[in-house]
Structure 1
């Protein structure tokens, strides 16, 4: 009897393992495809309206004209503009996010440190991006330093705020459980506070990355000879809306691509969570 029960249990275990190994169909696949088709359909509609003279081409150029303008720039010249802007964003975002993670963790763990710095950060966060430009140009000149510094400023504040909110929002019961189990302060931070606050932190990182692209354009609009912001300024000054819209489309594509990479990293790092979003993704719509 025991042998029969063991065999039955083994069969059930193998069957369950086979079911787990079978890849599940993505219930949102059709919606994801529709999400990709939607902007293409919008561009096709704009193309039709411009060709039918419903929209004035000198104000809203046809998407085909925008593509032709970008093609005429050449792969080398366009690549240099894209590369310059991308390097500035990544360098500024890396510096700003690293400082924000450090300062945010200190503020989240120390009420005194938070009380000391929070009023100043609240005031600095309200300063528009363009207001920083003349100050940074005065202090750092017109080379790469002020552009990267401006991008770092844009990325710093949303990440810092999310780190503080994430640490402060950790359930007190989890902290008490760690203390009961004799965790040191360092172990409590690395094993309880940090994993529990990671969702907030990644939200701040994605917000900071989008702001980094915005602040990069602000820097390049004023003091740059290369970059997508420079293309925007050049198109405005020469009265070429096709160049302006081309730079905007490139910024949208690069912003979406960089956010998708960061979102994929977030999904991988937070794969251990058992959340409602996982239920929706695996079980269907709500």
Structure 2
């Protein structure tokens, strides 16, 4: 399984040497990892330096370098220009996709997200019957913004009545930001590998968002991070500690139910991006393969990732 490498100690230097990502501090090597094993490098710390050779080596392997702000949210991403062998043709079909198709795709994404939210609540022993009703109300393009209606119900039930989702805040919100950064990197990588352009979304269309498509496709996976954040806070962890980072990084290898048996979160992300590319090619909404939510028991079992 590919790895997420987190750089969170100040004053380190990153370089490439004979097929390895090498980490040095005060001119002494403190760690190395095979470059072929790296899915993404996430940089949080101050005073980090790296060599151009390393960034090139990561890009050649399709790996991302993600730079984060103090709130653990990504502010910049270095990604490869070369992707899938049919990249040009696929981007053309992506750009030319009809509005009705994009709206139908967004409906499927929202429905999937709400079902995942229901599974996350059930894993906590909370009734999610209302979410089944919300799923039935989602129309093409979600003009009634059922996604937001579900969120208003979801967060108080999952985190408590006093919780407010604030991307700029610390504490539990910082945990969520960090976990979402892991998944955003995974989805961006999957999108590029499928020959699609991450800035051309099916719903998100902010001019300043270079990863609109990744932000569209991450939506069903978010409750994985939410569940892990709940489990960490239950253990008294309310900041992005090394323990929390290891737990969130482990999410990409979590087993999920798939079309032909068990897959992983990483595998489901790749399959989702590839199937979306087929949707753009064929114009058929039926080609999309969204991740299936795990059972409440499987979600509760994420706690085993916490060291």
When normalised by structure 1's length, the TM-score is 0.27
Q: Which structure has more strand as a fraction of its residues?
A: 2
When normalised by structure 2's length, the TM-score is 0.26
Q: Which structure has more helix as a fraction of its residues?
A: 1
Higher relative contact order, chain-length normalized (CA < 8 Å, sep 6+): 1
